[in-house]
Each structure stands twice: as C-alpha cells, then as structure tokens.
C-alpha cells in the first residue's frame, strides 16, 4: 500500500507513521499465527471495528437507494459492485489531516463502463473526487476547458470537446435511466467498509449473479475512532507519534458471511514486480476469492495478471490501438469467468 500524507506538515507525519505502522503490522501477524485462532480473532476484530466506527450519516438514504436499484432490475440479470479510489484515514475526529491510499479511480471508472456495456447493473462505490465513468475523455477541469460563451446569455461546448462531452452525457444518462448505474461516494475507511457491508447484505438474495470487483485501494492501518483526538493536532508539541491499528481484512468475512455466493474479484497492488504474483497467489488462497487481479504501479495501465486457481492469465491493452485500455480485455475475461461460475453453480 502506498502511503502519503496530505496537507501541512506532511513530511514529518509520514516518516513517523510509517515506522509505527510497520512495527504494528509485524507484531499482529506474529500473534495471529501463534494463537492458531485466526478466524475467531478476525471476526472479533471486525465486530469491534464496526462497533467503534462513527455511524454512517446517510445510512437510511443509502439503504433506500440500494433497495430501489436492486429491486428495479429483473431477476436473473447480473449485478456487480465496483469499488474505486482510495480510502482515507482521518487523524482527527474533526478532520484536518488524514492519510491517503493512492488511486486515481481510473480502473474502477473504466471497468464500470465496460460492465455496463456487457449488460451488468453496476453499483459504483467510489472515493469522492476521483475519476468517474464516462468522463475519462474529458479534460481535468471540464467546466473551464469545455465551454465557451458566444455572448453573455449563451453557453456552448467548444468544437474540440463536442464529441467527448456528448458521449459522456449521453452514455451516463442512458446507464442511469436504464437502471444500470448507481453511484455511491465514500471518503474514509469507516464509510467505505460500512457501505460495502450494506451493499453485500443487500445483494445476498442475488446469489451467484452478483459480483464484487474490489479495485479500491483500501487502507491497511487506521486510527481507531475512540482513541482519536477530537480537535486538530497541534504542531507546537513537536514531532508527532501516532499508533495505528491494523484494519481487519474484510475480504474473508465478505466471502464467508456477507455474500458467500457472490463471485468475488480482489486486486493486489505492488511496486516490486518480483513479489507481485507470489503476493497475489497468497491473497487468493487466504481470502478464497475467485480471482486476484495483480498489478504493478507503473505498468498498471498496460497490463495486469489475473491470478486464479486454474491459471495465471496476462491481460494487456491492445498496443496497436491508441484508444485501447486494459479494462476492455480484462472485463471480457472476468465476465467470461463469471458466466462459468454461474453455470457451475446451477449444474
Ligand atoms: C488496485 O490494485 C487498482 O488496480 C489500482 C488502480 C488502485 C492500482 P487507479 O485507480 O489504480 O486506476 O489509479 N487496487 C487495489 C489496491 C489495494 O490496496 N489492494 C490491497 C493490497 O494490494 C488489497 S485490498 O493489499
């Protein structure tokens, strides 16, 4: 997981946090393997994570939207929850500073477009402010770059961006009107995990027709809400020393409990390509997901490896076509695997 701090005093905070986090990580791994009670420990950690989390502000509204969206699509159709963007970890309850996980949201947004194209209904659980489906061809600041004023009362799209804006608006409107796209934003690790649990619970009735495609970059460490200072941390007190707890791995409970019949794809990101496949294979075995998409930070837009119990498949973007993206081929493969899974389930 890539660590970086945001806002003022960043460099000092980053150095200290990294050291403490790494120490905690190795301590906890050691304890679990000695106790031999891995499953129980994980379930306890998960319960206490949720019990101590600040409640979701718009819980009822999210549940209502989810139920409406899921009930709106006729049985037998496929539905996928795509997670996208990084989770933030607040350092103060009235948050001024936070730790962030790297992710532009490109993978999630592009994958969503491809799932919709393949006939899926998509619940897009995304980090606020990250890349959105159908907006990848627009400039970073579309409002300032796409529009012009022929006179004071009219606004029109620059000819250079006309096609991109037209496609973005039309495709997004069609996906929403057809009940194929529900967008739910999160910011913190607390919001992300509570929303993921809500979605998984809501999708339980859809069994093997549902899929989780977990491309979000999820924090491994966090500050438990109750041990977090309420007000802004003061810099006058000198260097900062914060204890980070390990975020319990929700993948195992997602698979075993929240949505045991759903098809589940997780992602593994590394910066050292030498350990990538080994780490992805370990994750596959440990969390019993159906496949792990392994990617290396600098080449993630060119290629990924889909690691599963049957094979490791290298998926590349089509180098001959400039507009080709790796998600075009990746989603074709994942959809194919999902079909095999559904057929096997009913056999
Ligand atoms: C990924 O590996 C995604 O493919 C990326 C996509 C975040 C690299 P972008 O959003 O990049 O297009 O800029 N996501 C999972 C990252 C992660 O944190 N995985 C955890 C891990 O590797 C497991 S949940 O341990």
pLDDT digits (tens, 9 = 90+) for 41-57: 678 889 999 999 999 99
Ligand 1 binding pocket mutation candidate from 196, 215, 219 (most atoms within 8 A of CB): 215
Of all atoms in ligand 1, which is nearest to the CA of residue 85?
A: 10
Whole-prediction pTM value?
A: 0.88
Task: Tell me the HSE value of 50 on the side-chain side, using a 13 A CA sphere.
Answer: 15
Question: Hey, which residues does 218 pair with through a beta bridge?
Answer: none
pLDDT digits (tens, 9 = 90+) for 14-71: 333 433 333 333 333 333 333 345 566 678 889 999 999 999 999 999 999 999 999 9
Ligand 1 binding pocket mutation candidate from 1, 99, 103 (most atoms within 8 A of CB): 103
**Which residues make Cβ contacts (< 8 Å) with residue 120, sequence separation at least 6?**
77, 78, 79, 80, 180, 211, 335
Asked: is 3-261 a CATH 3.10.440.10 domain? The reply is: no
Q: 312-331: buried (b, 16+ CB within 10 Å) or exposed (e) per residue?
A: eeebebeeeeeeebbbbbbb
Burial (CB < 10 A; 0-12, 13-18, 19+), residue 31, is: exposed
Ligand 1 site residues (CB inside 6 A) read 1, 103-107, 215, 217-218, 266-269, 295, 300
Residue nearest to atom 11 of ligand 1 (CA): 103
Ligand 1 center to 333 CA (angstroms):
19
pLDDT digits (tens, 9 = 90+) for 86-143: 999 999 999 999 999 999 999 999 999 999 999 999 999 999 999 999 999 898 888 8
Tokens at 127, concatenated: 């980090």
Ligand 1 center to 84 CA (angstroms):
8
């Amino acid at each position: 997981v890539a660590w970086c701090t945001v806002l003022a005093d960043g460099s000092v905070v980053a150095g200290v946090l990294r050291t403490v986090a790494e120490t905690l990580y190795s301590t906890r791994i050691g304890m679990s393997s000695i106790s031999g009670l891995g499953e129980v420990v994980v379930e306890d950690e998960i319960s206490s994570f949720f019990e101590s989390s600040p409640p979701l502000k718009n819980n009822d509204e999210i549940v209502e939207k989810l139920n409406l969206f899921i009930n709106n699509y006729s049985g037998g159709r496929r539905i996928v929850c795509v997670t996208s963007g990084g989770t933030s970890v607040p350092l103060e309850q009235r948050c001024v500073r936070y730790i962030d996980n790297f992710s532009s949201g490109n993978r999630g947004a592009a994958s969503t477009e491809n799932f919709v194209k393949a006939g899926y209904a998509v619940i897009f659980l995304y980090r606020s402010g990250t890349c959105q489906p159908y907006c990848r061809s627009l400039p970073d600041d579309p409002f300032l770059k796409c529009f012009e004023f022929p006179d004071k009362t009219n606004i029109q799209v620059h000819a250079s961006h006309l096609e991109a804006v037209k496609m973005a608006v039309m495709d997004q409107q069609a996906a929403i009107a057809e009940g194929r796209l529900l967008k739910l934003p999160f910011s913190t690790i607390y919001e992300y995990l509570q929303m993921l649990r809500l979605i998984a619970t809501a999708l339980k009735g859809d069994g093997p027709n549902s899929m989780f495609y977990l491309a979000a970059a999820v924090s491994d460490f966090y500050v438990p809400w109750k041990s977090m200072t309420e007000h802004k941390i003061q810099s006058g007190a000198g260097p900062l020393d914060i204890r980070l707890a390990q975020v319990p791995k929700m993948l195992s409970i997602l698979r075993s409990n929240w949505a045991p019949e759903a098809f589940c794809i997780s992602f593994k990101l590394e910066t050292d390509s030498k350990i990538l496949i080994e780490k992805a294979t370990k994750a596959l075995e440990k969390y019993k997901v159906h496949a792990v998409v392994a990617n290396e930070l600098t080449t993630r837009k060119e290629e990924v490896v889909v690691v599963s119990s049957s094979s490791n498949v290298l998926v590349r973007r089509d180098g001959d076509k400039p507009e080709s993206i790796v998600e075009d081929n990746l989603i074709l493969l994942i959809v194919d695997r999902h079909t095999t899974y559904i057929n096997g389930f009913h056999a």
